[in-house]
Structure 1
Amino acid sequence: MNHIRYERRRYTNGQTPIEELKRLSEALGGPAIYIKRDDLLGLAAGGNKTRKLEYLVADALKQGADTLITCGAVQSNHCRLTLAAAVREGLRCQLVLSEPETGGYNPQASGNHLLFHLMGAEKLQIIPADGDMPAEMEKLAAALEKEGRKAYPIPVGGSSEVGTLGYMACAEEIEQQAWEMGIPFDYVVTATGSAGTQAGLLAGFAARQSSASVIGINVSRDRETQEKKVHELLLSTAELVGLKGEWPASLVRCEDEYVGPGYAIPTPEMVEAVKLLAQTEGILLDPVYTGKAMAGLIGLIRKGAFRKEDRVLFLHTGGAPALYTYADVFLAER
Structure 2
Amino acid sequence: MSSHPTPDLDELLAAARVVRLPMRVRFRGVTEREAVLLDGPHGWAEWAPFAEYADRDAARWLAAAVEAGWGRLPAPVREEIGVNATVPAVPAGDVETLLSGVDARRTAKVKVAETGQSLRDDVARVTEVRRVLGPAARVRVDANGGWTVEQAVSALTALAPLDLEYAEQPCRTVEELAELRLALARGGIGVPVAADESIRRAEDPLRVARLAAADLVVVKAAPLGGVGRALELIDRCGLPAVVSSALDTSVGLALGVRLAAALPGLRHDCGLGTGALLAADVVGDPLLPVAGRLTVARADAAREGVDAGALAAYRPEEERVTWWRDRLTRAHALL
Tell me the TM-score normalised to structure 2 length. Answer: 0.32
The structure with the largest helix share of the pair is 1
TM-score normalised to the size of structure 1? 0.32
